[in-house]
A and B are shown apart, each in its own frame.
Chain A
Amino acid sequence: MNNRLLFAILLCLPAFSSSAETKVSERILGNGLKVLVQEDHRSPVVVSQVWYKVGSSYEPGGITGLSHMLEHMMFKGTDKHPAGEFSRIIAENGGDENAFTGQDYTAYFQTMDKSRLDVSFELEADRMRNLHLLADELKKELQVVTEERRMRTDDKPRAKMQEYFMAMAHTNSPYRNPVIGWPADIANYTVEDLQAWYQRWYAPNNATLVVVGDVEPKAVFDLAEKYFGALKTSEIKPLKPQTEVEQIGVREMTIKLPAKLPYIVMGYKVPSLKTAEKEWEAYALEVLAGVLDGGNSARLASRLVRGKQIAVSAGAGYDLTSRLSDLFTLEATPAEGKTVWDLQSALKDEVVKLQNELVSDEELQRIKAQVLASDIYQRDSMFYQAMQLGMTETVGLGWPTVDEYVGKVNQVTAEQVRDVARKYLIKDHLNIAYLEPQEIKENKASPTIQGEHDAR
């Protein structure tokens, strides 16, 4: 019965899949560089991204944030192109460029007129193996990164709270460390640290080149061969797993910071698509997040913000594509006269309902319609398409995951949503942080953000 209803809905949706279907071409060069090309001929533009399999979750203690620091140093010159020239050449060719570091990746991108793809390739290939790491440049750039940390994290109470929260929730998983790094680690990077990190991870056989735009795959492969083909490979030693130990009881913390509003964050340990015992579990968690927070009609907005009016804002978050198991998060800001304890209990109530009652057909259908529509909307952005391909490839899921997404979400049943709620949203795996606002006094240092994307 449920299934038939669902089918009826799906049939109502437009038959666009043939017209807008993505097609990815893949080639692996002799040195191991994987090249992915997706054609999008709507504008004479091309997005080129180089993704390295390295990020903050690769970093041992003492050098946290080093991947992000190296990302900054990647603009500081090679034999051929001195510091600053990379950006100058890209700019002169009409390009937009930048870079970002996450827990599981470091990526560099240029968006250019399609005729300038070779400019991007030449420069990226050059800095993949020939970076100059100079003490003088590092000294200045260390200050820049320290300012970046102050701006993103230290002066933002909720971002700072997030940092402490992650450090509490994860016992031994490297996800406990912020992408931008702990202050004492940032202050003590050396050129040798960076050199070693660069040597270890920056090689064609540890990278993916993603190109999306008004291009033809064969031509892109030839161009990639021309510029990247001769680069030497490195021996990439396997990363230690650092699998998080099981959590054996709820963890709570209070964060006292100068702020105006209280705030609560809760996080349950859950698998990602990469680590789930069964693949459907990750998709069911994705749907569960949609039930709670997939729009203004979703449960948190409808019940907590409007119905009970105990929150001025509330949200749920789950990242399907993390390399390691992470958290399913719930967060909320109390309405005037309500407390974080009221919110804690209301959020837990919502979890209990998900464990005891099946989500309605209407909710499931809403989520599936949204997923289908966003799949089209996302194709409006070449950059976003390239992001998805690069990210899934870099965390080890493989780019075909992107194409499978809509279908897999569509297969999720109400029973499966209930089952993952029962299996994973359990008290002993719960972490809670409360922000307890302190008076904002003048001239007292305070500072924090989760650096999902620390763009340069």
Chain B
Amino acid sequence: MRASLIGIVFLLFSQPVWSAAKIEHWQTAQGSRVYYVHTEGLPMVDIQVSFDAGSARDGSQFGIAALTSALLDTGAGEWNADEIAKRFESVGANVGAGISDDMAWVSLRTLTDKKLFDKALETLQVMLAKPTFNEADFQREKNRTLAGLKQREESPAELAHIAFSNAVYGDHPYAHPSDGVIETVAGFSANDLREFYKKYYVAANAMVVIVGDLSKEQAEKTAQSLVAELPAGQKPEPLPEVAMPIKASQRHIDFPSSQTHVLVGMPGTYRKDPDYFSLYVGNHILGGAVLVSRLFNEVREKRGLAYSASSSFVPMFRKGPFVASLQTRNDQTQKALEVLNKTLVDFINEGPTEAELTAAKKNITGGFAMRFDTNKELANYVSMIGFYELPLDYLNTFQQKVEQVTVASIKDAFKRHIDPQLLQTITLGGAPAKK
């Protein structure tokens, strides 16, 4: 009796304290969206400036978004790569730049002490607004990228993923690898990068995320200064819808590896999909949960067929992939693939049990706070919420949405999203998987 009373009091107090990852949102004068969360406890801040300029914007120039991003810290304003690096590193700041299919971003983690912060911020601002893309830096980074693309051919895991994306997406902009391919990258000029930069790195297409120990006033000034010198520009047209595959396919690629990499999937779901939570919780049971999912149990725990066996939805602006995968000794590929397919099809047909659903909900809601218990993770969530324009209370309603999922809603959502007749299967390894 007493214990449960204490429990209630605890809940009342503890919920708002930190579930108040209170996201504040505004627009700068130039039209860039800003998302800010004030966190305390450590004198540091994570800042991200993102653009709708990921590899889905490559057009036919596969890899141009990635290379443009890679050039940003190699020369800007009056500074060369050494000077830019020194400016950040002399104040202990970490800077990074990268892309996904949907997004290009530059991130900065810095201490908030004014002198250190100001120097890091000024450097970032110039990097974003005045990258030089000079010829020597361009050639060097292009050569480094080409070496990386060549090295990729050593990796059965990467090659299998590339083949899988191609099978799932056909000629959609999500099909090609984000880093590009040798044939396209080899043909780029520095001017191509400048063009890409000019079109996409503009205020109307920019978003700023600030999570850390800065006051709102400081955050406003910071966001403003980061985008102040970007031309207003405009947002690009939304990406095209993903076309569903017209039939199932299976392709084997020979590779001299000791394991065969098996990937099965199709276009899955997008960020604003009303079915998202049913798919997410369902997949948690099917193959998402670490060490306890159905796929993990069937493939690894019961049969010892693989070290890792899992499935995931990767929601993106358009339908990101659903993929179930494993790696296994070449000669047992067929057996492992059968187990994977049966587990998947059974799940689609029958859905989870009530007990599985209850366990999954307990895991997800019980571990909710751990999803963003670091500044970095929180910043990543805020960035996702901002970029995909999800409701600002996304985190605060997350647990409730999970609780609302039912066995029926999972079954229904899977039936409508994952059709066994449309699954794309890739096996890559040392022995062909016989049909």
Contact = CB atoms under 8 A, between A and B. Distances in A.
A42 B40 CA distance: 8
Contacts of A442: 254-256, 430
A443 B259 contact: no
Interface string B113-134: 1011000000000000000000
B260 to A, nearest CB: 10
A256 to B, nearest CB: 13
A43 interface: yes
Interface in B383-435: 430-431
A309 B140 CA distance: 7
Contact-residue size bin, chain A (C-beta under 8 Å from the other chain) = 35 or more
A43 B42 CA distance: 13
B244 interface: no
Given A157-B154, A379-B42, A297 B82 contact: yes
Contact of A380 (B44, B116, B256, B367): B44
Contact-residue size bin, chain B (C-beta under 8 Å from the other chain) = 35 or more
Contacts of A370: 89, 92
A44 B369 contact: yes
Interface in B332-378: 359, 362-370, 372-376
Contact of A301 (B44, B85, B297): B85
Contacts, number: 242
A19 B43 contact: yes
Given A297-B89, A369-B89, A92 B144 contact: no
Contacts of A295: 85, 88-89
Contacts of B258: 150, 154-155, 445-447
B259 A335 contact: no
Contacts of A244: none
A445 B359 contact: no
A446 B146 CA distance: 24
A318 interface: no
A273 B330 CA distance: 44
Given A20-B43, A155-B257, A446-B258, A372 B308 contact: no
Contacts of A96: 290, 367, 370
Given A43-B18, A75-B291, A91-B363, A150 B259 contact: yes
A77 to B, nearest CB: 12
Interface of B: 10, 14, 18, 39-44, 73, 81-82, 84-86, 88-94, 109-113, 115-116, 140, 143-144, 146-148, 150-151, 153-156, 254-259, 289-292, 297, 300-308, 327-329, 359, 362-370, 372-376, 430-431
22 contacts: A14-B112, A14-B113, A42-B39, A91-B359, A111-B370, A112-B366, A112-B370, A140-B304, A151-B307, A154-B258, A258-B256, A295-B89, A296-B81, A302-B81, A312-B143, A335-B144, A374-B92, A376-B111, A377-B94, A381-B374, A381-B376, A447-B258
Given A95-B367, A443-B431, 15 more contacts: A13-B113, A16-B113, A43-B18, A91-B362, A111-B367, A150-B329, A151-B308, A260-B151, A261-B147, A261-B151, A297-B89, A305-B140, A335-B143, A445-B257, A447-B257
